[in-house]
Amino acid sequence: MAEHYIRPPLVAVEPPSPRAARWRFRIVVGLIFLVVLGGLALLLFTVILSNSEGNPGFNPQGLGSRSGLGSSTVATVPPSGAGVSVS
């Protein structure tokens, strides 16, 4: 077997320090954690604040209904002429 010559690097540079690598890892993981936490908070507030009915929160009257917790109640409007008697 012939040995192959491997050239040394043109510019001698010390290897990066493990201490810098640890801090770089901590910073990157911390930023990813903050981005995920911010995304979850944004999603939560979007779901909470996106109530298109204008309902400020729980509907206490709707708790006993059979359609589910927090369901909205819709008022029924009688048809025109209902309840009007002409004699």
Per the model's pLDDT, the better-predicted residue between 36 and 13 turns out to be: 36
Predicted confidence at residue 49, as pLDDT, reads 74
pTM, rounded to two decimals: 0.43
Q: Give the tens place of pLDDT for each residue, 26-77.
A: 999 999 999 999 999 998 888 777 665 555 555 556 555 555 455 556 667 6
* Residue 75 CA neighbour count, 13 Å, CB half: 2
Question: What are the residues whose beta carbons fall under 8 Å from the beta carbon of 69, sequence distance 6 or more?
Answer: 62, 63
Task: Tell me the domain boundaries of the chain.
Answer: 17-50
